[in-house]
């Protein structure tokens, strides 16, 4: 993996990423003759000079922004639904899983931010420059699938919020169309300045915090049980349903496209990459900012889990039906008259809050969901933009790029909204979670590979502990998510689907093995490097040939 001018073909042999001793940090990011290289960030935020202090709040404020945009993926409607289901199915018992998943997410986001800061390029661009053509195209398609799956959850989350706020007057497809239009409008807010755009995202996060915080204060969860569930890694009397929910939490929190997003967002600050002190300082402040942002997102997720754990854990359908009848709710038919455990999603969650705590709780819940869906839809669009530009090296007009990236994700969402009822979306949400879980290796393996190479990261490459720790974390996360996939597939009960899935798994695992092979070479397992092995064999043969030549006297 050597540094070279953009446009030069990658140094590849036998499909193996080649490594050289060049310092990648001296490589400039790609530029176009037509317009400066940028996706949405046509300006860069200057960093104030402050050489007298080890830590500066002014500098931290200048670096604040990318981490909060990244943290929105931890608050999207898919995460909110996972939170409320966790509370309803397991009470407070799985809060420690949420905490652990958030910490793992922070460590992975640190790698993404460091790659963007040190190289001046985001993960998709680095993949484009370093992987051979066929793996690069497959990788792009897999990441696009993850973005489409996430975007469907986010847009439909907005549509559900509009449906709740309008008391059912706005159908699901109508909410999707509204979301498409307002997303286009909001995406061009950065014309008024990048900091104003970041402030708008901060405003949406504040709405979520206030909305779900209101529900938390109103329900008044048991603080002792909450702390016990958060810090005691044990799930008493938990069965397969709680186990699957724990796996679902990890899959919902750690999202593949967010790694690509964060590595691009950090490019929005003015950093002299030739100055190691500035790069080191940028890495420090970005990590602090990401920690603060994910801490806030974690608290918001805890609000949602705690509300449903306190109010609806172990509740039955007949209990909820009676309460909704008593409150005069028009949604009583959602809950059959039986003693089965209550099953909730984003839509039913708002309804049961309205039944138990009044209409205000329902509307405030819907506002929080709308903020979550709207903000994550916008960042999802940014992700699609970065990924498509990076992998395909697109240099289109800005409107054309936004239109293409939105259309790819919106079209299947609109079809689902037209043919699906708002009350029966849980099955689709499970499928989309599985789809995103399967794409995790295609973000985690490349980010560990490239951040471990000194030819790319120079002095900022991962140390031995980060290589081992990162490898173990990625292995565990991928194993957990594969378990989630297996559980979902086995629940389909169809032999034809089993055969189809088996064939797809062979192709899928083959590509994951290829990426893992490249990653292990980058981590220092040189015996797997076929090209180097062939070179050594050739050199040994040459040496033997020389030794076998007769020695002639002069």
Residue range 480-534, pLDDT digits in tens: 777 777 777 777 777 787 888 888 888 888 998 899 898 888 887 877 776 555 5
Distance CA(238)–CA(86), nearest Å, equals: 12
303's tokens: 């609000």
Rounded to 10 deg, the angle between the 95-119 and 240-253 helix axes is: 20
Can you give the pTM of this predicted structure? 0.85
Of residues 414 and 451, more confidently modeled: 451
* pLDDT number for residue 41: 57
Among 2-6, 283-287, 358-362, 414-418, name the one with the lowest average pLDDT: 2-6
Element holding 472 (H helix, E strand): helix 464-490
* pLDDT number for residue 1: 41
* pLDDT number for residue 530: 66
Cβ atoms 262, 113 nearer than 8 A: yes
323 to 330, 335, 341, 353, 355: CA distances (angstroms): 12, 10, 15, 11, 6
* pLDDT number for residue 187: 67
* pLDDT number for residue 54: 81
Cβ atoms 445, 108 nearer than 8 A: no
Tokens 């090209």, residue located: 531
Which CATH architecture does the domain made up of 57-439 adopt?
Up-down Bundle (1.20)
* pLDDT number for residue 384: 84
Q: Which residues does residue 17 pair with via DSSP β-bridges, in sequence order?
A: 12
- Model confidence at 17, pLDDT cuts 50, 70, 90, reads very low
Write out 314-380 in H/E/C secondary structure. Answer: CCEHHHHHHHHHHHCCCCHHHCCCCCCECCCCHHHHHHHHHHHHCHHHHHHHHHHHHHHHHHHHHHH
Among 113-122, 488-497, 544-553, name the one with the lowest average pLDDT: 544-553
Question: How, if at all, do strands 16-17 and 12-13 pair?
Answer: antiparallel
User: End-to-end alpha-carbon separation of the chain, Å?
Assistant: 46
DSSP symbol at 37: S
């Amino acid at each position: 993996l050597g540094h070279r001018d953009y446009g030069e073909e990658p140094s590849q042999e036998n499909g193996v990423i080649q490594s050289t001793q060049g310092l990648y940090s001296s490589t400039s990011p790609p530029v176009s003759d037509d317009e400066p290289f940028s996706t949405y960030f046509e300006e860069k935020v200057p960093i104030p000079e402050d050489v007298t202090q080890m830590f500066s709040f002014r500098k931290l404020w200048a670096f604040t922004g990318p981490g909060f945009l990244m943290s929105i993926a931890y608050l999207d409607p898919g995460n909110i639904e996972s939170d409320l289901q966790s509370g309803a199915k397991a009470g407070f018992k799985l809060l420690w899983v949420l905490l652990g998943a958030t910490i793992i997410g922070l460590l992975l986001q640190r790698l993404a931010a460091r790659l963007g800061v040190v190289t001046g390029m985001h993960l998709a661009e680095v993949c484009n420059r370093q992987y051979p053509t066929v793996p690069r195209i497959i990788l792009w398609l897999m990441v696009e699938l993850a973005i489409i799956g996430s975007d469907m959850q986010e847009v439909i989350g907005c549509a559900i919020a509009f449906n709740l706020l309008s008391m059912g007057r706005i159908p699901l497809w109508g909410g999707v169309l509204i979301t498409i239009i307002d997303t286009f409008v909001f995406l061009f807010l950065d014309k008024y300045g990048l900091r104003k755009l970041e402030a708008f995202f901060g405003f949406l996060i504040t709405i979520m915090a206030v909305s779900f915080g209101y529900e938390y204060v109103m329900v008044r969860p048991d603080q002792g049980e909450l702390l016990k569930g958060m810090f005691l890694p044990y799930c008493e009397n938990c069965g397969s349903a709680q186990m699957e929910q724990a796996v679902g939490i990890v899959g919902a929190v750690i999202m593949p496209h967010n790694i690509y997003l964060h590595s691009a967002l950090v490019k929005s600050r003015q950093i002299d990459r030739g100055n190691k002190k500035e790069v080191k300082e940028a890495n420090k402040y970005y990590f602090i900012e990401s920690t603060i942002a994910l801490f806030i997102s974690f608290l918001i997720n805890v609000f949602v889990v705690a509300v449903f754990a306190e109010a609806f854990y172990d509740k039955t359908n007949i209990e909820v039906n009676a309460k909704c009848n008593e409150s005069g709710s028009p949604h009583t038919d959602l809950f059959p008259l039986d003693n089965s455990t209550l099953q909730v999603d984003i839509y039913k969650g708002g309804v049961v809050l309205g039944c138990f705590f009044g209409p205000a709780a329902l509307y405030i819940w819907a506002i929080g969901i709308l903020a979550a869906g709207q903000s994550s839809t916008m960042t999802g669009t940014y992700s699609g933009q970065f990924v498509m530009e990076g992998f395909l090296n697109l240099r289109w007009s800005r409107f054309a790029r936004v239109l293409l990236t939105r259309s790819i994700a919106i079209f299947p969402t609109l079809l689902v909204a037209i043919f699906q009822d708002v009350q029966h979306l849980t099955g689709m949400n499970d499928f989309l979670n599985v789809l995103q879980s399967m794409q995790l290796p295609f973000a985690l393996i490349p980010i560990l590979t490239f951040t471990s190479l000194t030819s790319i990261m120079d002095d900022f490459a991962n140390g031995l502990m980060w290589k081992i720790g990162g490898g173990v974390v990625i292995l565990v996360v991928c194993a957990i998510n594969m378990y989630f996939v297996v559980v979902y597939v086995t629940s389909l009960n169809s032999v034809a689907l089993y055969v189809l899935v088996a064939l797809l798994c062979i192709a899928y695992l083959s590509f994951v093995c290829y990426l893992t092979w490249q990653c292990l070479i980058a981590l220092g397992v040189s015996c797997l490097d076929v090209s180097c092995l062939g070179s050594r064999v050739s050199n040994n043969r040459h040496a033997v040939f020389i030794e076998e030549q007769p020695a002639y006297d002069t």
